[in-house]
């Protein structure tokens, strides 16, 4: 089952409808009250991310079901990519706070950087290091459910699950990793979602939130 695609932007369009459709979807799937609430929280967090994006974004929001798995997607396009790309590159050169704090802000930073095509710039390695990006996962990029059908030509997918594994591995040795682990433990998205993936799909960027919820 898939919901209708709702047109959204980061100025507020479609956001109320997203919450209504999310609640309807949870009811149709027969989720217990706890998991219906979790699904709404994930929708709210994805909308908060969308609203916090710099520049002008427009795109679609929809939810799919696969047995006990929900896949929530925002697929968006930046309308002022070149201007914002220059701003991000200027930040990377100056070193001004490209190291985002908090899980929510890391996801937003990855989304923006993909949207503004920064990963093709000569400064991408510096930006990637600053945002704690994990190595891209070729298997995820080729998964037709999430990104493969959208035409990704390279393995340009960031995964929260992989990021969590990396941080957990380094937490005993690095103060920065310990701080990152504390952020993960406090994050609504990190504790509810099975994974969050951000990837480039042609000229669009996709945010995919995956959650495994048992039905009543």
122 SS3 class: coil
Q: What pLDDT is attached to residue 39?
A: 95
Token representation of residue 210: 């995956």
What is the pLDDT averaged over residues 171-187?
Answer: 83
User: Which burial class, exposed, middle or buried, applies to 30 when counting CB atoms under 10 A from its CB (0-12, 13-18, 19+)?
Assistant: exposed
The Cα–Cα gap between 174 and 36 comes to 37
Instruction: Residue 199: give the domain boundaries.
Output: 6-212
Angle at 84 between CA 80 and CA 90, to 5 degrees: 160
Angle at 20 between CA 16 and CA 21, to 5 degrees: 115
Q: Does a structural domain hold residue 1?
A: no
Facing residues of 73 across strands? 62, 208
Q: Does a structural domain hold residue 48?
A: yes
Number of domains in the chain: 1
pLDDT above 90 as % of the chain: 24
pLDDT at 163 over 70: yes
**Mean pLDDT over all residues of the chain?**
75
Q: Does a structural domain hold residue 146?
A: yes
**102-117: per-residue pLDDT in tens?**
677 778 777 777 777 6
The Cα–Cα gap between 21 and 133 comes to 32
Q: Are 56 and 80 in contact (CB under 8 A)?
A: yes
6 SS3 class: strand
pLDDT at 143 over 90: no
**6-63: per-residue pLDDT in tens?**
999 888 899 999 999 999 999 999 999 999 999 999 999 888 888 877 678 888 999 9
Q: Does a structural domain hold residue 28?
A: yes
The model's pTM is 0.77
Characterize 60-94 residue by residue with b for buried, 16 or more Cβ atoms within 10 angstroms of its Cβ, and e for exposed: bbbbbbeeeebbbbbbbbbeebeebbeebbebbee
Residue 22's H or E segment, with its range, is: helix 15-29
Q: Does a structural domain hold residue 207?
A: yes
Task: Please report which confidence band the pLDDT of residue 133 belongs to, taking 50, 70 and 90 as the band edges.
Answer: very low
Provide the sign of the torsion angle of the four alpha carbons 176, 38, 216, 71, taken in this order. Answer: negative
Highest mean pLDDT, choosing among 16-25, 134-143, 185-194 = 16-25
Q: What pLDDT is attached to residue 174?
A: 80
Report the half-sphere exposure of 56 (CA within 13 A, side-chain side).
4
Q: What pLDDT is attached to residue 136?
A: 41
**74-85: per-residue pLDDT in tens?**
988 877 656 655
What is the crossing angle of helices 160-170 and 175-186, to 10°?
130
Angle at 122 between CA 95 and CA 100, to 5 degrees: 35
Q: What pLDDT is attached to residue 71?
A: 92
Q: Does a structural domain hold residue 78?
A: yes
């Amino acid at each position: 089952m898939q919901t209708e695609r709702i047109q959204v932007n980061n100025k507020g369009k479609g956001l109320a409808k997203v919450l209504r459709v999310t609640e309807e979807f949870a009811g149709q799937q027969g989720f217990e009250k706890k998991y219906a609430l979790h699904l709404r929280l994930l929708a709210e967090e994805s909308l908060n991310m969308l609203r916090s994006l710099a520049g002008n974004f427009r795109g679609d929001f929809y939810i799919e079901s696969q047995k006990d798995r929900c896949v929530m997607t925002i697929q968006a396009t930046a309308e002022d990519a070149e201007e914002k790309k220059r701003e991000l590159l200027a930040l990377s050169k100056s070193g001004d706070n490209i190291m985002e704090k908090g899980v929510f802000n890391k996801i937003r930073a990855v989304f923006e950087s993909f949207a503004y095509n920064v990963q093709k710039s000569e400064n991408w390695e510096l930006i990637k290091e600053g945002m704690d990006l994990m190595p891209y996962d070729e298997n995820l990029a080729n998964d037709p459910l999430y990104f493969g059908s959208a035409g990704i030509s390279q393995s340009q997918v960031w995964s929260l699950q992989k990021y969590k594994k990396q941080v957990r591995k380094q937490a005993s040795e690095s103060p920065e990793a310990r701080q990152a682990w504390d952020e993960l433990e406090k994050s609504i998205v990190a504790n509810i979602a099975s994974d969050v993936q951000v990837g480039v799909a042609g000229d669009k960027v996709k945010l995919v939130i995956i959650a495994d919820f048992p039905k009543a």
